[in-house]
Amino acid sequence: MLNSICLQSKVTIDNTGNVIHLPVIITPEGILSSYLEYLIVNRNRSRSWIDRSSFALRLLIDYTKQNEGCFEKPPQLFREFANALYTGTVGEDGGDQSWLRWKPRAEKDAAFLIGLITHYTDWLAIQNEDRNLQINPLKKPTSYEQWMSLAAHYQKKERAFLSHLWATHPEPSAYRQVMARRKSVSAGTESTKSFPEGRITDLLWDGFVRYGFEMSDGVHERLDLKNVLITMLMHYGGLRLSECLQIWVEDVTPWDDGTALVKVFHPALGKCDAKSPKRREELLMRFGLKPRFEYPKSHSLHAGWKDPAESNSSLHYFVVYWFPHSMGKTFNDLWRLYLTYQRISDGDHPFAFTTRSGAPLSIKGFNQALKRAVGRIHLPFSKEAGTSAHAHRHAYGQALANAGADSLIIRNAMHHKSIESQQVYTRLTEKQMRHHLVAINRDNTGIEGIVKRITNDE
């Protein structure tokens, strides 16, 4: 059941002629104007953040409309909305009188959606205060705008709308039945996140072969080098796929030791030097383009941005750290071959990795090539099998952890802003845990183990 629609619209702010592309939420009563004003204020955030924010608010609109008259007090409705994100709306008998048909969401996803709505209601509370709007919490709201204002009222007054609802989670018995259950994992199998150990060489040199050139001797003839280079940036440099697609040709230069120096600039704020224009300005003036993270996900130019820790905060870029270090030299050699023989440019963009027609390579384009390459080396293509693009970043973090790198080194190498962020990349697999436990057991049994324990006790 949908009580709103979301249209991608062109919004003009002033007489400069500049146009902002933003999602506009339209209810049966018209445009949700307060939310449009909110998006205008936050228009410089990533496109994925904006799209997710509008999605979250539409969920609240739907829940509010479909549950009119069910709760005596508005806070109860807001609380149950948050719980419904976590538990879903389908009952144990498969029924759902609200017609929302929501499935339970992962805790992290639900909390993120709640945070997006909270960010909007915090902003709206300030706006209502500045405009001297009086919200009567005892009066039943009659419009979508009034419902949003009431949510902002409780968020500001009690900090009890959505902020702390996740302090205590519903009991397992309160979970609602999921109509489309995930496939169960059979006993003895484990969920793999890193690319399969020992198969990266097969992927690079046998997976990314060019059709019709499988038997060619020349590397630049046999391999699709752009996909090899991107995979190396992820697997040996720890980059995300979206970060690889933000790189310009001029961002890659050789170090004195023969390795490649790769700088990844902020798509909008990055600058080559103190006197250079920002990348946003350069993209607009030279190519008539926007930063890639501002395009909608459906656009071929879209590439997200996760706000990584920067190596240079004034020029807004970070540097790729190769591990093993020798792979930086291999990358540099292949990079020169790529520029000489394979990169095609129509002059309409500065991006390093291009299609056969010269257009910037898209996320979809790379993932299709990766799927074919994984199939060629007889591996399944899935997140669970560890063969997706992001699995290479996991492999990078895991390789550093296995080599005994300090947590601070791993954080800097992966450009995280906190130590905690890297934990998902360095978590031990079930196989590694079994190996460690067997080793511990072996070291603490027999005469040597007994002597060791007695010595430690003394």
The encoded tokens of residue 162 equal: 């959505």
pLDDT score of 191: 47
pLDDT score of 101: 87
28: pLDDT strictly greater than 60:
yes
Report, as an integer, the average pLDDT of 129-151: 66
More confident call, 398 vs 138: 398
The encoded tokens of residue 317 equal: 């870029």
Q: Measured between alpha carbons, how far is 161 from 118 in angstroms, rounded to an integer?
A: 8
Do you know the residue count of the chain? 458
Average pLDDT, rounded, for the chain: 82
Alpha carbons within 13 angstroms on the beta-carbon side of residue 181 total 6
What is the third-level CATH fold of 200-426?
hpI Integrase; Chain A (1.10.443)
**pTM for the full model?**
0.69
450: pLDDT strictly greater than 60:
no
Backbone angles phi, psi at 79, to 5 degrees: -65, -45
Q: Would you place residue 427 in the very low, low, confident or very high pLDDT band (cuts 50, 70, 90)?
A: low
Alpha carbons within 13 angstroms on the beta-carbon side of residue 379 total 25
Residue-wise pLDDT tens digits, 32-68:
888 999 999 998 888 889 999 999 999 998 988 888 8
Using left for φ > 0, alpha for ψ between -120 and 50, and beta otherwise, residue 254 falls in beta
Please state the three-class secondary structure of the chain as a single string: CCCCEEEEEEEECCCCCCEEEEEEEEECCEECHHHHHHHHHCCCCCHHHHHHHHHHHHHHHHHHHHCCCCCCCHHHHHHHHHHHHHHCCCCCCCCCCCCCCCCCCCHHHHHHHHHHHHHHHHHHHHHHHHCCCCCCCCCCCCCHHHHHHHHHHHHHHHCCCCCCCCCCCCCHHHCCCCCCCCCCCCCCCCCCCCCCCCCHHHHHHHHCECCCCCCCCCHHHHECHHHHHHHHHHHCCCCCHHHHCCCEHHHEEECCCCCEEEEEECCCCCCCCCCCCCHHHHHHHHHCCCCHHHCCCCCCCCCCCCCCCCCECCCCEEECCCCCCCHHHHHHHHHHHHHHHHCCCCCCCCECCECCCCCECCHHHHHHHHHHHHHHCCCCCCCCCCCCCCHHHHHHHHHHHHCCCCHHHHHHHHCCCCHHHHHHHHCCCHHHHHHHHHHHHHHCCHHHHHHHHHHHHC
The sign of the dihedral angle between the CA atoms of 80, 85, 87, 91 is: positive
Residue-wise pLDDT tens digits, 338-367:
999 999 987 899 999 999 999 999 999 999
Residue-wise pLDDT tens digits, 180-238:
333 333 334 444 588 998 899 999 999 999 998 988 889 999 999 999 999 999 999 99
> CATH 1.10.443.10 residue ranges in the chain?
200-426
Residue-wise pLDDT tens digits, 189-203:
444 588 998 899 999
pLDDT score of 91: 80
Q: Which of 174, 183, 158, 163 is nearest to 86 (CA)?
A: 174
More confident call, 8 vs 252: 252
Residue-wise pLDDT tens digits, 116-139:
988 888 888 888 776 655 555 555
Q: Measured between alpha carbons, how far is 290 from 283 in angstroms, rounded to an integer?
A: 6
More confident call, 77 vs 431: 77
282: pLDDT strictly greater than 60:
yes
Q: Measured between alpha carbons, how far is 115 from 122 in angstroms, rounded to an integer?
A: 10
CA dihedral 433, 437, 443, 447 (to 10 degrees): -170
Q: Measured between alpha carbons, how far is 425 from 414 in angstroms, rounded to an integer?
A: 10
163: pLDDT strictly greater than 80:
no
